[in-house]
Amino acid sequence: MSKKAVLAFSGGLDTSVAIKWLREEYGLEVVTLTVDLGGSNSRDLGKIKKKALKLGACKAIVLDARDVFVRYFVLPALQAGAMYEGVYPLATALGRPLIAKFLAEVAEEEGAEAVAHGCTGKGNDQVRFELALQSLAPQLKVIAPLREWGMNREEEIEYAHKHDIPVEDRKKIPYSIDENLWGRSVECGALEDPWAEPPEDVWLWTKSIKDCPEKSQTIEIGIEKGVPFRINKDYKDGIEIIEKLNKLGGRHGVGRIDHVESRVVGIKSREVYEAPAAVILHSAHRALESLVMTREAMRFRDVVANQYADIIYNGHWFSALHLDLVAYVLSAQRLVTGAVKMKLLKGAATVVGRRSPLSLYQPELATYDKTDQFDHKAAEGFLKIQGLSLKTQSRVQCQIIYGTREIDLASVIPPKLKELTKGKKTC
């Protein structure tokens, strides 16, 4: 019996070519695995299966994993407030560890010695697949044909023609696109110039401002323990909420993100994302948090959110640190219950109201009218103590602090070796 590899198969050109390549170069039988994580291309799984078999896969497995994806990846990331570099809701990055997990499981079931993916050598996705696999199934060999074969695009197309692999028209879709129900990620083509405005055809889910309705739409989102469960009066599961908000937000042009991003491999790349539901839900969620969490808890929440986003982005999903952070997030989210009102209008989703049974906002403390209960007198002593260190500093150190015009950074930059050894003998 010949050896097998399980290939993560999207149905696109790269992974189609990979089926042939794994068979020819490695002499492997190929089992393909296609995982549907939703999005507009929530795919015709039957068609993809047929294609894989036609291209020579010995078995083609297709999975609708939308529910698992939302429940175990998307909603926890929302609860954690995970946005990479403050703007990217991490749709692609969240999908990879799940696909890697299924790859490892299928490999075990099929008795395969290797798994394969269609990522290149300069992207983030190879990192996510392979770090997840190293953590879950370190015994598996990983093959990355695109990284290994050294073909450029033209050679790849030529190879495809030679092997009867259908090639989609690149002129029709001049970008590299990844998509699931948490968002679309678009790169390459005209987007490679960070100065050029994204052409209108990169956007698929969101209307451009000029085509948005003139009238705003206000929606209420119900949240329990950091998880959305209701839009207006409709109670919904995670998938339904996200799909509904993608539609509603998209209609109002909400969720376009244009970002120059710091990749794991050290390069900056220009990425465009489209994620109406993620944008709406993250801002609603944060607005509710700021109602129920203290200032210190919010600060710490931001620290955790950044760390959590890095973990997802950098491919460390299956790590102890991730689970430690999850424990913190779940504990902190016990307070995050209530509702947020969002107004959607011409590209913006604005928080216009929030309420919670656990709200720390107390009208009798906040008000300036006659019902005010705040102890104004207490501020005097408070300010005396708060100001004490500043007062002392002003008295003792004022000259130095405000008198110095320049701080010379040369004092911390060591000279070059050549300068140090000038005129000296070095043996």
Q: State phi, psi for 193 to the nearest 5 degrees.
A: -95, 110
Among candidate residues 23, 43, 66, 96, the one labeled active-site is: 96
Q: Compare residues 85 and 364 and give the one whose CB is closer to ligand ARG.
A: 85
14 part of the interface to ligand ARG, by CB under 6 A: no
CB of 261 to ligand ARG, least distance (A): 6
Q: Choosing from 40, 42, 176, 216, which is the catalytic residue? A: 176
For ligand ARG, which is the closer residue by CB, 314 or 359?
Answer: 314
If binding is defined by CB under 6 A, does position 10 make contact with ligand ARG?
A: no
Least CB distance to ligand ARG at residue 312 (A): 9
CB nearer ligand ARG, residue 185 or residue 206:
185
Print the binding letters for residues 377-406 with ligand ARG: x by CB under 6 A, - otherwise.
------------------------------
125 included as an active-site residue: yes
Quickly list H helices, 60-215.
66-69, 75-80, 91-110, 125-136, 145-148, 153-162
Interaction residues for ligand ARG, span 64-103 (CB under 6 A) = 92-93
32 binding ligand ARG? (CB under 6 A): no
Per rule CB under 6 A, count of chain residues that contact ligand ARG: 11
CB-based contacts of 76, cutoff 8 Å, min separation 6: 326, 329
Q: Find the catalytic residue in 125, 135, 178, 270.
A: 125
Q: Which of 18, 177, 254, 332 binds ligand ARG (CB under 6 A)?
A: 177
Angle separating helix axes 125-136 and 91-110, nearest 10 degrees: 40
Say how many residues make up the chain. Answer: 427
Is residue 176 part of the annotated active site? The answer reads yes
Q: Where are the alpha helices (DSSP H) in 198-294?
A: 238-251, 276-292
What residues are paired with 85 via a beta bridge? none
Q: Does 176 bind ligand ARG (CB under 6 A)?
A: yes
Under the binding rule (CB under 6 A), the answer on residue 178 touching ligand ARG is yes
Output 12 or 56, the one with its CB closest to ligand ARG. Answer: 12
What 8-state DSSP symbol labels residue 424?
Answer: S
The contact pattern for ligand ARG, residues 113-132, with x = CB under 6 A and - = no contact, is: -----------x--------
- Nearest CA to 178 among 271, 308, 98? 271
Q: How far apart, in Å, are the Cα atoms of 60 and each of 17, 35, 38, 96?
A: 15, 11, 19, 19
Q: Which stretch binds ligand ARG (CB under 6 A): 50-58, 63-71, 180-188, 412-420?
A: 180-188
Q: Which stretch binds ligand ARG (CB under 6 A): 43-51, 179-187, 233-241, 414-422?
A: 179-187
Interface stretch with ligand ARG, choices 70-78, 131-139, 171-179, 217-225 (CB under 6 A): 171-179
Candidates 16, 34, 180, 185; binder of ligand ARG (CB under 6 A) is 185
* Residue 66 and residue 239 in contact, taking contact as beta carbons nearer than 8 Å: yes
Tokens 């696909």: give the residue: 99
CA–CA dist 330, 352 (Å, integer):
26
- Does the annotation count 375 as an active-site position? no
Strand order in the sheet with 141-143: 59-64, 29-36, 4-8, 114-116, 141-143
| Both structure tokens of 336 | 């995050």
Q: What are phi and psi of 168, to 5 degrees?
A: -75, 155
Q: Residue 232 corresponds to which tokens in the numbers above?
A: 């207006």
Q: Which stretch binds ligand ARG (CB under 6 A): 181-189, 241-249, 298-306, 363-371?
A: 181-189
Separation CA 24–CA 245 (nearest Å): 45
Contact characters 258-277, ligand ARG, x per CB under 6 A = ---x---------x------
Q: Are 33 and 177 in contact (CB under 8 A)?
A: no
Residues taking part in catalysis: 14, 96, 125, 176
Residues near ligand ARG, by CB under 6 A: 92-93, 124, 176-178, 185-187, 261, 271
